[in-house]
Amino acid sequence: MRAIAIEAVNNSDLSRRAAIAAYVAEENGEAAVKRVNVVIGQLDAAADAALNKKKENRRRSHDAADIRVINTKKLSLLLISGLSTVVGSIQRVLVITCFLLIIIIIIIIII
């Protein structure tokens, strides 16, 4: 019985670690969203600059409009990389949590 109790305590420690990992993954996801929001703000500023350039000088407006296209591609890459990182973290946490839950259920059945 003592060994089962010690194993249950160890598993609860692993559950706490999985919960902490889930919290960290969520925080990383929120940080990625904040970075994306910053990039979107930069895109809006670039679009405004392009419109202002167009008003000032029709010849240079074409060059200023190219800024928006380049930043849109960068934003797409940032979104894809950020989301893949967040999804990977969440996936690892879910696998660990499911594994720990299975172990705890087995221990409960044994007891």
CA 44/CA 56 separation, integer angstroms: 18
| Residue 75, pLDDT above cutoff 60 | yes
CA 56 to chain centre: 40
Q: What confidence tens digit (pLDDT) does each residue in 28-49 have?
A: 667 666 776 676 777 777 777 7
Q: How far apart are CA 67 and CA 18, in angstroms?
A: 43
Q: How far apart are CA 41 and CA 49, in angstroms?
A: 12
Contact 14, 99 (CB under 8 A): no
Radius of gyration, CA atoms only, the chain:
25
- Burial level of 14, CB count in 10 A (0-12/13-18/19+)? middle
Higher pLDDT, 9 or 79: 79
Q: Between residues 31 and 9, which one has the greater pLDDT?
A: 31
Please determine, for residue 72, whether its predicted confidence score (pLDDT) is greater than 70.
no
Whether 69 shows a pLDDT value over 60: the answer reads no
- What per-residue confidence (pLDDT) applies to 56? 66
